[in-house]
Structure 1
Amino acid sequence: MLKKTFIIATLFQAAAFFGQQYGGMWIPTEINEKEMKSLGMKIKAQDIWNTEKPSIKDAVVQFDGGCTAEIISPKGLLLTNHHCGYDNIQSHSTVENDLLTNGFWAKNMDEELPNPGVTVDFVTDIKEITQDILGNTSSLSGAELTKKINENIDAYKKSQKIESYQSIIVRPMFAGNKYYAFVVETYKDIRLVGAPPQSIGKFGSDTDNWVWPRHTGDFSMFRIYADKNNKPAEYSKDNVPFTPKHFLPISVKDIKENDFTFVFGFPGRTNEYLPSVAIEKIITDTNPARIEVRDIALKTLDEKMRADDATRIKYASKYASVANYWKKWIGETKGLKKSNAVAKKQAYESSLVAKNSEIKSSLDEFKKLYDQQAPYALNNAYYSEILRNAETLTLANQFYAFVQNYEAGKVDDKAVKGFKNRLSGFYKDYDGELDAKVTAKLLALYANKTAPEFLPEGFTQFKDVNQNLQVLENWSRNSVISGRNSVNGATVYSNIDQVFSNLPELVKTLKADPIYQTLTKMRETYVTKADAQYVGLQSKIDALQKKYLAQMMATDTERKFFPDANSTLRVTYGKVKGSNPADAISYHYETTLDGVMEKYVPGDYEFDVPQKLIQLYNTKDYGDYKNAAGKIPLAFTATNHTTGGNSGSPALDKKGNLIGLNFDRQWEGTMSDINFDPRFSRNIMVQTKYILFIIDKFAGARWLLDEMKIVK
């Protein structure tokens, strides 16, 4: 008990020092204004969210369904991360015209590049609709409850009058104890305006990802276009730059430690209210499995990407995506251990039980369910990660679903066309020969790490990596799936329409393909022996989580609760802070251009530096962007509670001016998705001074700055 008391006391001491005990990702209509003002905010909650007049929310959008972006001019100019625009920069790149390496800057609006399929979403209204969704469900549970909730959501959406370019998204909060409706407006004509070369926008690449100190100019620029009435429209040469209700002024004032900041964006997923047993399973079981799979895939890809430019360009975005969460899970596991997350949760759970004895039965039930689920969860982690990272198996899995639908009579011309389009997009950046090596190694991992009861019959033949490399290369060379063999007289690369011209022949060929057969055995064994059990137990865990969170909120009446992130619009806040992540290690809150030059390695794909940037540094041609010390400030850290999806989010000062662009978290604090700890949890932002310095002095795109409102 002494140990638990000490842990709780330590946590409260940290909270008192930082002013943030639990972090927070607040729904904009319910922000914690009192605490924000106590930390230094000078504007009002109505300045952040207001449906009656322009407010900051009118300048914040979800970018392409995943990241966040903000409007920084009256002509619809968007700012987001370089890594958020990476796919689009890559799509415009070729070996001959490599925009990833060289960067891109339109000289005027006529040179801005269209990006078919890219969208931005504005949230125009938010309402709590719990009674509409749960009002007639108190006597229901399980499948009946789920069915009724879905019916109520559909009924609510149908009851609302919206425009053709609007949609309504309904999301559960607090593990399903509350429901909210978000009215969304979607714009579809989004054009690339500018991006620095990846030696700036991705400086440090995978080595520096998730870590501090950081020197990455992680930004890119787009523009929203609309029809002549300023309404959403498909791409057209006749469209005009969008006129926003509000755009963000950009501050170039020096940033100081303890300055108030807040971040507005679309955080993806957090699990702040998990019981201690769930965190323990993440640390010991599922995270290590996922890390192990991606470690093998990344090392195999990296070897060829370093040796071949065409492969580097083709796999650049995919590699970054795989590496992102691989490194995040490593840091998360390390942080959960260092912050004593399990012990803290256990201490908090004991304090809850002391106030409400009914909570003990919920905790006991959690222990039983998570222990029952553990072997299935581990198999799920290996199986899902291998199918995701062995692209040949990913393709085989897609073909499997197609064959099943075809044999069930569910495939028509529209389905065939849609499937071909998806495949064409996949094969565009796929190398069957390279992925045969990845698949060979991951099959060996699955054969060696999976419990015998979850393995397909005869799967032990894949335990030897060297043997797999020979077998998979032979299979890949003769496979339609890998794109290296033909069916109906063509390959998927030469003529995908011809490949699908005779569906019975295609299906026959696929079912004889050893890659297809291997995937079939893996999939059917997993579905039979693990998936139903895993999903069934997870449904029970989810129902118990809803009950437990309701008990927690009713019992801990002094705590102000915020809902877990779920890709809906949120506000988080904190202070500019350095950190002390380990014994004898102290991090300053700010980095400068000096650090880029200290890390510079000529010719290195992660740490090379453009000659023009070196020249600007050597001549100290900094213009108005240097700080009081005469340096160019680059990035800074603060205690804002962020996660994936907050990439590209605006970092704002006490008056609502843009001071930075959120792009990452400090490695030691990535456990904040599960356990926010104010001692270690830091978000990382590129400063507006550095962004403007690159646009102006490096790119010579002064015309873009002329659109902006710059606060000096």
Structure 2
Amino acid sequence: MLQRIVKPLMLAALLLLSQLTYATEGMWLPQLLSGLNEKEMKGMGMKISASDIYNINKGSLKDAIVSFGGFCTAEVISSQGLILTNHHCGYESIQKHSSLQNNFLQNGFWAKTAAEELRNPGLFVTFIVRIDDVTQAALQDVKPGMNERERQSAIDKRLHEIRQNARKESWQETMVKPFYEGNQYFLFVTETFSDVRLVGAPPSSIGKFGSDTDNWVWPRHTGDFSMFRIYAGKDGRPAPYSQDNVPLSPKYFLPVSLKGVKPNDFTMVLGFPGRTTEYLPSEAVKLTVDALDPAKVGMRDAALEVIDGYMRKDEQIKIQYAAKYASTANAWKKWKGEMLGVKQTRGIGKKEQYEANYRELLNTSPELKVKYSGVLDSLNEMYRRIRPYAQARDYYSELVRNVELFTAGDRLISFLGNVRDKGEGQYETLRQQFLESMQPFYKNYNAQVDHDVSVKLLEIYAKGVPKQYAGAEYAQICAENNNESRMLADKIYGLSALTSLEKLKAFVQQPYNAVVAQMWKDPGTRLIMAMRKGFVDNVSKPVNDLQSSINSLQRTYMQAQMDVMAGKKRFYPDANSTLRVTYGKADGYSPRDAIHYDFYTYLDGVMEKYVPGDYEFDVPAKLIELYKNKDYGRYGVNGKMPVCFIASNHTTGGNSGSPALDANGHLIGLNFDRTWEGTMSDINYDPSICRNIMVDIRYVLFIVDKYAGCTRLIDEMKLVK
């Protein structure tokens, strides 16, 4: 009897110790900090209160944080609506304003006066006004035994009522988001401003220093920032662009600290993280790192090798493929880091140990055992069953993404499907729209590069995807070409209408019915349709069916964990692009044996990496001069210029541009990346190697002030020491 009592108590103690060890993990909802996190945050050094972070009755930190364009985060840093975000977040806006005469990407841009600030049609920022728990109302009509479709339909009806009846001002908007796998729902009242103007950006040689080579890597030396301003109507409310609009007077803006950080200083990041899946069972993590990541990495390894070879030999191809190469390499590098990080931290083993602890605790509660018995085992079994289908799905997705001719074919099929749905009478109009949309695609397309990519990827696809998933028509086409990817590619790229815009135009100039008939004769479109049919029939449908069961079980398992671990573990909801708070400490890390990284980098490191004329590591002459003269103004420290630092804040995509704050809630840096070994934090956060990378705010101020001479922006800010 004593043993039965002692074992659960020991287990509870171990879980509590684990919780304390992993204290920096979590993406927390700001309105719940007072009950869940405030005590711990103050124990780690925070000097403000939870009400200073989230408050609906007075200005608080949440009133200085905005969703930037729906894909990044930005923060208000002056009483005149000046906002700070990453250079890579503002990159598209900067690019649109650039020309050969005024290349702002290459030379940077600084508005010397308000009149020079540039409008950006389509760009917007969104503030969070209030967050309300609406779980009870959202789930009111959910009944036991409902299937997923019935359940979601019942919820959607209630969500519509919740949004319609929400208390808000006429210019405000609402959205409701699910949390904890749909076990809870929160209403967000928001304000969106669409007049957002470009104020300043450093040249890419600063804002994108290190480019692809340094991406996901520490040590980092990138001044990844840009500045915009929010404009409002004269009444201070959101308004479309007008010359009569005025800079926004915000409810709150962030003071900017010149103090910097020391080892183990408390740090906090607020922002809009995009997507995490922290509560997956062990079989799901195995699926990701043992099957899905290797499949995607293998495909991109081959594609990148081919593209890189051509880019090194041909300047025109280098220009055409630079952005595509960077985009392809970004996720490729992240997935490689994810696999490495899970392996190094024994992430799967820890998941399995957690599940063993969960089962032991579950068995101590007869009531919970009846309610949740078998849920975890069933969920793990479903992930084992979906594995071959999910891997085939990812092989197919990577093939269509990385072989551009297949991408073009997919777009052609979608265009013809649109004509079918809207009627042949719309063919001419839709054809013109389709061809216009394909012009930028072919501008940066090289058929020879794509041919060689297809040879490699078709070979990998044939080896990686079992015949029963690829489909009979695809197998027939392969057999006609002796199952040789090069022979198949030679035929496609020699005869298909998809290899150039001119050929595609001629192809679709035919009547609609003729084009549809020709689709099965053109070797490119024939292969694409065959592969697409095989994918839909043999992969997509089974995946969707299995995924529906997984979603239901995952929701139940999420609730089971919260019930079984109640009082022993705190649960934060997975990221879903809503406002979150994460906190940690400034600290280095040791990714491998005999290697330790410090937590700070300096301008000295920029000069050590400097390669004159290199597109990744060139350095502007003005910055070299400032460095040689040690002309750092009030921003340097002991004759050195801080550039970047790392801490154990739990971040992900969407946190780009998030403010890094100190114990007083003052701005000390700008989040822009994670360390390579810690990219697995989306599924397996581990404080030993998971670090977020930030630009030191003093480097931002130094570039604005000493490099660009745009002191009017410095004068707007509230600088504190």
| Same topology, TM > 0.5 | yes
**Cα distance, 1:307–1:649 mapped onto 2, change above 3 Å:** farther
Aligned to 1:571: 581
**Cα distance, 1:422–1:12 mapped onto 2, change above 3 Å:** farther
Q: Deviations over 1:633-668 (max 9, x none)?
A: 111111111111111100001111100000111111
**Identity across matched positions, percent:** 48
Deviation of 1:706 (Å)? 1.7
Matches within 5 A, 1:101-180: 101-139=106-144, 140-160=146-166, 162=168, 165-180=171-186
1:336–1:675: 8 Å Cα contact kept in structure 2? yes
What residue identity is the alignment partner of 2:305? K
**Structure 2 residue 276 is the aligned partner of structure 1 residue 270:** yes
**Structure 2 residue 505 is the aligned partner of structure 1 residue 487:** yes
1:665–1:683: 8 Å Cα contact kept in structure 2? yes
**Cα distance, 1:195–1:467 mapped onto 2, change above 3 Å:** farther
**Cα distance, 1:609–1:393 mapped onto 2, change above 3 Å:** same
Deviation of 1:475 (Å)? 4.2
How far apart are the structure 1 equivalents of 2:492 and 2:510? Answer: 27
Q: Which moved more, 1:683-692 or 1:204-213?
A: 204-213
Aligned to 2:387: 374
Q: Deviations over 1:472-530 (max 9, x none)?
A: 43246x43x74232536xx9xxxxxxx78975666566665433332211111100011
Aligned to 1:706: 715
Secondary structure of the 1:586 match is coil
Aligned to 2:45: 40
Secondary structure of the 2:591 match is strand
The number of aligned residues is 694
Identify which of 54, 62, 77 aligns with 1:57.
62
What residue identity is the alignment partner of 1:291? V
**Structure 2 residue 547 is the aligned partner of structure 1 residue 529:** no
Secondary structure of the 2:475 match is coil
**Structure 2 residue 664 is the aligned partner of structure 1 residue 655:** yes
Identify which of 230, 236, 241 aligns with 1:230.
236
How far apart are the structure 2 equivalents of 1:652 and 1:41? Answer: 10
Aligned to 1:589: 599
Deviation of 1:98 (Å)? 3.3
What residue identity is the alignment partner of 2:467? P
Q: Deviations over 1:185-225 (max 9, x none)?
A: 22222222222122211111121111111111111112222
Deviation of 1:604 (Å)? 2.0
Aligned to 2:420: 407
Matches within 5 A, 1:596-607: 596-607=606-617
What residue identity is the alignment partner of 2:582? T
Deviation of 1:284 (Å)? 0.8
**Structure 2 residue 457 is the aligned partner of structure 1 residue 457:** no
1:440–1:472: 8 Å Cα contact kept in structure 2? no
How far apart are the structure 1 equivalents of 2:237 and 2:436? Answer: 29
Identify which of 286, 294, 298 aligns with 1:292.
298
**Cα distance, 1:552–1:593 mapped onto 2, change above 3 Å:** same
Identify which of 490, 493, 496 aligns with 1:473.
493
Q: Deviations over 1:33-75 (max 9, x none)?
A: 1111111111111111111111111111111111111111222
Identify which of 393, 412, 423 aligns with 2:437.
423
How far apart are the structure 2 equivalents of 1:136 and 1:21? Answer: 37
What residue identity is the alignment partner of 2:209? F
Secondary structure of the 1:371 match is helix
Deviation of 1:421 (Å)? 9.3
Deviation of 1:82 (Å)? 1.2
**Structure 2 residue 636 is the aligned partner of structure 1 residue 618:** no
**Cα distance, 1:106–1:421 mapped onto 2, change above 3 Å:** farther
Aligned to 1:609: 619
Deviation of 1:246 (Å)? 1.3
**Structure 2 residue 211 is the aligned partner of structure 1 residue 205:** yes
Deviation of 1:600 (Å)? 1.4
How far apart are the structure 2 equivalents of 1:592 and 1:12? Answer: 39
**Cα distance, 1:51–1:146 mapped onto 2, change above 3 Å:** same
**Cα distance, 1:508–1:221 mapped onto 2, change above 3 Å:** farther
Matches within 5 A, 1:18-33: 20-21=22-23, 23-31=25-33, 32-33=37-38
Deviation of 1:310 (Å)? 5.9
1:445–1:463: 8 Å Cα contact kept in structure 2? no
2:66–2:74: 8 Å Cα contact kept in structure 1? yes
What residue identity is the alignment partner of 1:666? T
What TM-score results when the alignment is normalised by the length of structure 1? 0.91
Q: Deviations over 1:595-627 (max 9, x none)?
A: 111111222222222222111111111111111
1:432–1:483: 8 Å Cα contact kept in structure 2? no
Matches within 5 A, 1:543-558: 543-557=552-566, 558=568
2:11–2:357: 8 Å Cα contact kept in structure 1? no
What TM-score results when the alignment is normalised by the length of structure 2? 0.90
How far apart are the structure 1 equivalents of 2:423 and 2:50? Answer: 52
Q: Deviations over 1:169-192 (max 9, x none)?
A: 211111111111112222222222
Q: Which moved more, 1:78-87 or 1:529-538?
A: 78-87
Identify which of 559, 568, 575 aligns with 2:569.
559
2:81–2:231: 8 Å Cα contact kept in structure 1? yes
How far apart are the structure 1 equivalents of 2:511 and 2:684? Answer: 54
Deviation of 1:97 (Å)? 4.2
Aligned to 1:361: 374
Deviation of 1:391 (Å)? 3.2
How far apart are the structure 1 equivalents of 2:274 and 2:587? Answer: 24
How far apart are the structure 2 equivalents of 1:91 and 1:439? Answer: 32
What residue identity is the alignment partner of 1:355? L
Secondary structure of the 2:158 match is helix
Aligned to 1:192: 198
1:166–1:183: 8 Å Cα contact kept in structure 2? yes
What residue identity is the alignment partner of 2:193? Y
What residue identity is the alignment partner of 2:224? D
Deviation of 1:78 (Å)? 1.6
Aligned to 1:644: 653
How far apart are the structure 1 equivalents of 2:208 and 2:706? Answer: 19
**Structure 2 residue 538 is the aligned partner of structure 1 residue 538:** no
Q: CA RMSD in A?
A: 2.9
Deviation of 1:261 (Å)? 0.8
Aligned to 1:495: none
Secondary structure of the 1:221 match is strand
What residue identity is the alignment partner of 1:534? V
How far apart are the structure 2 equivalents of 1:411 and 1:45? Answer: 60
Secondary structure of the 2:88 match is coil
**Cα distance, 1:486–1:643 mapped onto 2, change above 3 Å:** closer
Aligned to 2:3: none
Secondary structure of the 1:225 match is strand
2:138–2:158: 8 Å Cα contact kept in structure 1? yes
Deviation of 1:94 (Å)? 4.0
1:90–1:313: 8 Å Cα contact kept in structure 2? no
Q: Which moved more, 1:411-420 or 1:171-180?
A: 411-420
1:86–1:317: 8 Å Cα contact kept in structure 2? no
How far apart are the structure 2 equivalents of 1:270 and 1:200? Answer: 30
**Cα distance, 1:469–1:501 mapped onto 2, change above 3 Å:** closer
Q: Which moved more, 1:308-317 or 1:23-32?
A: 308-317
How far apart are the structure 2 equivalents of 1:429 and 1:670? Answer: 34
How far apart are the structure 2 equivalents of 1:610 and 1:10? Answer: 54
Aligned to 2:5: none
1:61–1:121: 8 Å Cα contact kept in structure 2? yes
How far apart are the structure 1 equivalents of 2:162 and 2:446? Answer: 47
Secondary structure of the 1:408 match is helix
What residue identity is the alignment partner of 2:625? Q
